[in-house]
Amino acid sequence: MARAQGPYIWDADGQRYIDFCNSWGASILGHAPSAVTSAVARVARRGLSFGTPTEAESILGQLIQKALPSMARMRLVSSGTEAVLSAVRLARAATQREVLVKFSGCYHGHVDSLLVKTGSGALTLSSPDSAGVPPTLAQRTRVLAYNDIEGVKELFRREGQSIAAVIVEPVAANMGVVLPKPGFLEELRAVTTSHGALLIFDEVITGFRVAFGGAQTLYKITPDLTCLGKIVGGGLPLAVYGGRRDLMEWVSPLGPVYQAGTLSGNPVAVAAGIAALTQLKQRNPYKALDHLTAWFVEEIEALAHDAGLSIRINRIGSMWTLFFNNAPVVDLLSAQRSNNSIYSTFFQQLLEKGVYFPPSPYEAAFLTTAHSRAVLKKALTSIEKIFKKLPIQ
């Protein structure tokens, strides 16, 4: 790709696409919104990086804290991966335990101990999911099925005294969008609390996307630690981890958990984050985005029905996934039962018509405040033509 503006992105050959990836959810205001680009240009003229704290970091922190009160203290970093690995290190130090619990299909960045897959059973030791990850490190992670609270309870009955933390996307978005079943997040909160383990919400995608205060505000769950990224940086490399005051006091220089980065909280990225969050707070576009996205996916579902196709669309707010599946998608296993071959054909044909959907069937699609009904109707016209050509399942 060469450039982007509003709901569009242009490739190196000059072809324009309606963008439904939007920097994997980061561009909720559309590409290159003037409020953000102006702030970046203004601050960049004063210097790109100082390697010292700035007043702007405190301003951004206050904006985040008011939106997510669970983040009593926080640290700025440069990527979601860095936020997660820092939160995991902190959790292990604060609990003096080593075992982590994650869920199949949830992605938490390329952190060694979280790039793992299950063994032969849900409660067995895990093995590396990437070259370069030592098996001994992966074996400190347990992988369970998303939405399977009974599996969580059984694991805690067996190993509760060794578990440092459970990390979860409160709304999964890396096996496609998968919503938590009623009670799942509440039960996670209760189980971790009763066993002295920490609950980490990975809101790198859902933070400021599903609501201004993220999924934890929407579902009224208070995690111990939260990881933010994407929208919080306004399109620039910036992420945040934070949580309870007593936990964050473990981080240096107050405590023994070391974490630092030359570009963490650099003034340009912070300026972009402040501008983006200020716009979202002032405009409060979430209800309008929810209604627009609901209309759009309902239109897609109607077109699929008319074409004799079986699809499922999981949605929350302005994030959603289209599965070529005739059954509910509630976890990784049910997502994998989708017809990915048809999705690949669908994606390629959309691309030829100037519509950019997620290339993978396991990724989320997003709408932004720059997507008008007129733009979406153009996309629907292309979708309708392609649906009519796809083989009926």
The yes-or-no answer on residue 378 being catalytic is no
The yes-or-no answer on residue 107 being catalytic is yes
Write down the catalytic residue from 8, 102, 219, 230: 230
The yes-or-no answer on residue 241 being catalytic is no
Write down the catalytic residue from 17, 19, 102, 202: 202
Write down the catalytic residue from 8, 17, 107, 146: 107
- In whole angstroms, what is the distance from residue 49 CA to residue 340 CA? 44
Active site residues: 107, 202, 230
